[in-house]
Structure 1
Amino acid sequence: MPAAIVTFSIHAIVTLLLLTVFRGTVAANSIGAMIFRLVTWLIILALMIVQSRRQVTK
């Protein structure tokens, strides 16, 4: 799970940089792709958390 957290964090930082620092120079498709990646990693992270909680209760 730490690797998923790090990957999600890096994608979030890069997305924030694209939205703030490079606002006028980055294509809208790139922003959309980064947001899609963020959502995908968020779902993966949520599934991993659910799985780890299920293993603890067994």
Structure 2
Amino acid sequence: MTAGQPLVTYNRVQVAQAGYDDTVITIITNSGNFSTVEPQLNKQLRAGELAVIVER
């Protein structure tokens, strides 16, 4: 993965019209392999912004 690489794509309009929340959940299963795992909480992110800062 590289910074800014999309993790998922979906049609927000269709999701909203179906009555679902458009929140995307990201799970890091190997967080123990990194010295820093800092999610950007409570922020409305735009395309290209970092959702999680991860450092080895």
Q: Same fold judged by TM-score > 0.5?
A: no
Larger radius of gyration: 1
More strand by share: 2
More helix by share: 1
- Tell me which of the two structures has the higher relative contact order, counting C-alpha pairs closer than 8 angstroms and 6 or more residues apart: 1
